[in-house]
Amino acid sequence: MLRNEQYDQILREYDNRRFQAKFEQDRRKEEAYRLIPELKELEEKIISLAAESGRMAIRGDDSSLQQLNERIRELMKEQERLLMEVGLPADYLQPKYQCSRCKDTGFLGNEKCNCLKQAIADMLYSDSNIRANLARENFDLFSFSYYSDDYIDETIGLSPLSNMQKIVAGCKSFIRHFDKKHDNLLFTGNTGVGKTFLANCIAKELLDRGYTVIYLTAFRLFDILEKNKFGKDEESSYDASRQFDYILDCDLLIIDDLGTELNNAFTNSQLYVILNERLLRQKSTIISTNLSLPNINATYGERIFSRIASSYKVHRIIGEDIRLQKAIGGGKQC
């Protein structure tokens, strides 16, 4: 999926992760052995019994193997008890990997782990800057204080605050049921009301759970699609083709600021391909836009409007421009 030098760069990073995990584990062991000298003796017994367990497994001595494994579990529980007695976590001697599923190898058997898929996506879309954005835009930094409770919007029958509380609850439900429901979200509203911020909040939660997420502005998305279709040189065409594959297959695709791109027959047809194909693959998509549903229909046509109206949960965000509020009075959310 990547050029060899890019793939090698990612694998070197995984090597560094495992090295760092082993270094930190050894450091914790030395500290624990100083505090609890008998831990080292227990560790040596466990290692010796584990080696014997391997030999028994080869010989097929199942009854003795079961007894031996039970003895190993008893010694490990004794280790945990001693650690907790001095206020250390029970798993203090275990390596701490960035990805507990693949143990920072990048693979589960012969299959790529989701963390490696995301690392490849991050490399392909290195200019999307999603990681830096998520450090600033996540639920820990989300604030309802920018949404007024002083009036009711007559089109939806809710105040901006009540409406946003309802939307955030819906977003958290989207996250909880992400692996089962394959829902799609459309955030509409004026500039600066928090559409992108909310999409990034969701992105961080799902990335933390090991899903692959790609964030693209509409302008960047259609630039990739154009290069994939009409790339003039082999290298840029190859890169765009790989990016296109990930756009279709990532767990969550975020298309930000739909409607700001230069709209034409090509962008309309390509947007339909993306939305339709991801629906067929049961892959979730989030779209943010300043356009209302009638404007989406007028801009992109009936086919795209039908896909969105029938398959997306529409959340209309109302309120004042948060960037302006921040400029005037400060605050956390942007």
Instruction: Read off the pLDDT of residues 75-128 as tens digits, 9 standing for 90 and up.
Output: 999 999 999 999 999 999 999 999 999 999 999 999 999 899 888 888 776 655
**Does the pLDDT at position 237 exceed 70?**
no
What CATH code is carried by the domain that includes residue 308? 3.40.50.300
DSSP for residue 179: H
Mean pLDDT of 208-226: 90
Same structural domain for residues 86 and 175? Answer: no
Helix, strand, coil distribution of the chain in percent, nearest 5: 60, 10, 30
Which residues partner with 286 through β-bridges?
185, 254
110, part of any domain: no
Highest mean pLDDT of the ranges 51-65, 154-168, 225-239: 154-168
296-324: per-residue pLDDT in tens? 999 999 999 999 999 999 999 999 989 88
Same structural domain for residues 319 and 225? Answer: yes
Same structural domain for residues 46 and 131? Answer: no
Mean pLDDT of 279-300: 96
Cα–Cα distance between 194 and 141 in angstroms, integer?
12
C-beta separation of 124 from 243 below 8 A = yes
Mean pLDDT of 143-156: 94
Higher pLDDT pick, 173 / 56 = 173
**Does the pLDDT at position 285 exceed 90?**
yes
Same structural domain for residues 272 and 135? Answer: yes
Of the listed ranges 14-23, 149-158, 323-332, the least confidently predicted one is: 323-332
DSSP-derived pairing of the beta strands 252-258 and 284-289: parallel
Of the listed ranges 7-16, 33-42, 83-92, 117-126, the least confidently predicted one is: 117-126
DSSP-derived pairing of the beta strands 313-316 and 185-188: parallel
Mean pLDDT of 250-255: 95
Average of per-residue pLDDT values in the chain? 89
105, part of any domain: no
C-beta separation of 296 from 264 below 8 A = no
Q: For residue 82, give its domain range.
A: 4-100
Higher pLDDT pick, 327 / 276 = 276
**Does the pLDDT at position 236 exceed 90?**
no
109, part of any domain: no
pLDDT of residue 334: 44
**Does the pLDDT at position 271 exceed 50?**
yes
Q: What percent of the chain has pLDDT over 70?
A: 93
301, part of any domain: yes
Q: What is the DSSP string of 158-174?
A: B-HHHHHHHHHHHHHHH
C-alpha torsion 250→280→107→47, nearest 10: 110
C-beta separation of 66 from 74 below 8 A = no
Give me the half-sphere count of Cα atoms (radius 13 Å) on the Cβ side of residue 52. Answer: 15
334, part of any domain: no
Same structural domain for residues 130 and 269? Answer: yes
> Which of 155, 89, 146 has its CA nearest to residue 323?
146
Same structural domain for residues 78 and 193? Answer: no
Same structural domain for residues 45 and 169? Answer: no
**Does the pLDDT at position 129 exceed 60?**
no
Same structural domain for residues 184 and 255? Answer: yes
Same structural domain for residues 30 and 164? Answer: no
pLDDT of residue 19: 95
Residue 119 host element (H or E): helix 114-124
Mean pLDDT of 191-211: 93
Mean pLDDT of 197-204: 95
pTM over 0.85: no
C-beta separation of 203 from 213 below 8 A = yes
pLDDT of residue 9: 87
Q: What percent of the chain has pLDDT over 90?
A: 69
pLDDT of residue 166: 97
Q: Into how many domains does the chain fold?
A: 2
Same structural domain for residues 320 and 268? Answer: yes
Which residues partner with 284 through β-bridges?
252
Same structural domain for residues 180 and 215? Answer: yes
pLDDT of residue 162: 97
Mean pLDDT of 266-279: 95
Same structural domain for residues 145 and 219? Answer: yes
Mean pLDDT of 12-29: 94
77, part of any domain: yes
115, part of any domain: no
Cα–Cα distance between 135 and 102 in angstroms, integer?
24
C-beta separation of 141 from 237 below 8 A = no
Structure tokens at 253: 């695709």
